[in-house]
Amino acid sequence: MAVVPARDRILQTAFALFYARGIRAVGVDLIIAESGVAKATFYKHFPAKDELVLAYLDKVDTIWSGQLRDAARAAGDAPGEQLVGMFDALASACRREGYRGCAFINAAAESVPGTAVHQRTVAHKESVRTWVADLADQAGAADPAGLARTLTLLLDGGLADGALSADPRVAEDARATARLLVAAATA
């Protein structure tokens, strides 16, 4: 057995390639070659490409949700501050070399509504929004769900625009607007 199990190597390779080039643009043959795995091994772990895509999205969800929570926590204990602080994760993401937008929005762009991949995207966005709504509630917002909708709207806009513009002020704008909204909603 290799130092790192075949399944992990496949998923790691797929993670990098899917994000960098898009899901449909990357064939399983390439993933197999890059991860140095046999074809039979690949299909043993992922009976169909779609299952690998789903595993990829799960991995992204774990990572991104973690970064969001870390950034929020780093802003202090006050829920209102955390709502603003999570936008630091956006700024970090956009600064990253090879940043190419939100993996979920990208995946949704490549899939038809109703498919498992598309549904996974919707579920991810909803889970983030639920977490934000919880924070908004703790912050004493008059309409936590509404504030959460608006803040995630801002977050997704930053995620999308960050890929289309090299301007780092985009993330700053999103953060500043978030601060304004949080202040207005918890006044």
Q: Looking at beta carbons only, is 21 or 39 nearer to a second copy? A: 21
Q: Can you tell me which residue has the tokens 């950034």? A: 71
8 Å CB contact between 139 and 182: yes
CA separation, residue 120 to residues 11, 14, 52, 126, 139 (Å): 17, 17, 13, 10, 29
82 binds, among DNA, a second copy, none (CB under 5 to 8 A by kind): none
Residue 55 found at the interface with a second copy (CB under 8 A): no
Copy the structure tokens of residue 79. Answer: 């829920």
Residue 6 found at the interface with DNA (CB under 7 A): yes
Binder among 20, 21, 36, 62 for DNA (CB under 7 A): 36
Residues 98, 186: Cα–Cα separation, whole Å: 37
Residue 57 found at the interface with a second copy (CB under 8 A): no
The region of 8-16, 33-41, 72-80, 148-156 touching a second copy under the rule CB under 8 A is 148-156
Selection from 21, 8, 3 nearest residue 52 by Cα: 8
Residue 21 found at the interface with DNA (CB under 7 A): no
Binding mask 79-118 for a second copy (x = CB under 8 A): ---------------------xxx-xxxxxxxxxx-----
The region of 33-41, 74-82, 117-125, 176-184 touching DNA under the rule CB under 7 A is 33-41
Residue 43 found at the interface with DNA (CB under 7 A): yes
Residues 107, 88: Cα–Cα separation, whole Å: 23
The region that residue 36 occupies, defined by phi over 0 for left and psi between -120 and 50 for alpha, beta otherwise, is left
Residues 148, 129: Cα–Cα separation, whole Å: 6
Copy the structure tokens of residue 116. Answer: 């498992």
Binder among 78, 126, 127, 140 for a second copy (CB under 8 A): 126
Residues engaged in binding a second copy (CB under 8 A): 20-22, 24-25, 100-102, 104-113, 121-122, 125-126, 146, 149-150, 152-161, 163-165, 167, 169-170, 173-174, 176-177, 180-181, 184
